[in-house]
Structure 1
Amino acid sequence: MQRNKKRKLQALAGFLEIPEDIVLDLPRITMLGNKQLLIENHKGIIEYTSSLVRVKLSQGELIVNGSELMLGNLQIEQILIEGLIGTLKYEV
């Protein structure tokens, strides 16, 4: 049943030319080199240190490891992580 609903939403997004991330409540993750990471459509910050940031997503979490990590431009559905990003891990 869940897959059927997802397929219908994807078809609707294609028909209306709406990005799937909006219809399916998916995060949009944009990385600029290894210096900045923009996460849109998140569900909150789980953990934050200068070497680790864990962000809750609609389907799991994003784990960012690095050094000198800082949160900038915090908004309701958008986070900018700056610093030296070493690894990203998407856990479902």
Structure 2
Amino acid sequence: MGLRKKITDQFGVPKDLTMGAAVLTVTGRSEAYVENYRGIIEYTDQKIRLQTKTCQMTFCGEQLHIDYYTEDEMKISGQIGEIRYC
């Protein structure tokens, strides 16, 4: 077990802080907030694919768009039908 994981488990420190894990907050089927992403791989109105530190995250649906993004967070809006982790 790595040192970061031991510290996280022992002291209850959130994994997004110590491990750089992605944080996904979904509001209904129309909004998603993603924190700690690394980059945008694919961006169409039916699919948005992101790279995180540990995996790829794919949003599928209709009329998808990125409302805003910063260095480490973004908001996706539209009719979200599916979210996949690869």
For normalisation by structure 2, the TM-score amounts to 0.91
**Matched AA of 1:42:** Y
Q: Once the two structures are aligned, what percentage of the paired residues are identical?
A: 26
The question of 1:57 aligning with 2:52 is answered yes
**Matched AA of 2:9:** A
- Following superposition, the deviation at residue 12 of structure 1 comes to 5.3
Q: SS of 2:37's equivalent?
A: coil
- Following superposition, the deviation at residue 13 of structure 1 comes to 4.4
Q: C-alpha separation between the residues in 1 aligned to 2:24 and 2:68?
A: 15
- Could you list the runs of 5+ residues in structure 1 that have no partner in the other structure? none
Match of 2:8 among 3, 7, 10: 10
Q: C-alpha separation between the residues in 2 aligned to 1:13 and 1:33?
A: 32
Q: SS of 1:34's equivalent?
A: coil
- Following superposition, the deviation at residue 4 of structure 1 comes to 3.3
* CA 13–78 in structure 1, closer or farther in 2 if over 3 Å, else same: farther
Larger radius of gyration: 1
Higher helix share: 1
**Matched AA of 1:78:** E
For normalisation by structure 1, the TM-score amounts to 0.85
Q: C-alpha separation between the residues in 1 aligned to 2:11 and 2:65?
A: 35
Q: How many residues align?
A: 86
Contact 2:60 2:82 in 1 (8 A): yes
Q: SS of 1:76's equivalent?
A: coil
- Following superposition, the deviation at residue 7 of structure 1 comes to 3.1
- Following superposition, the deviation at residue 68 of structure 1 comes to 0.2
Matching residue of 1:20: 15
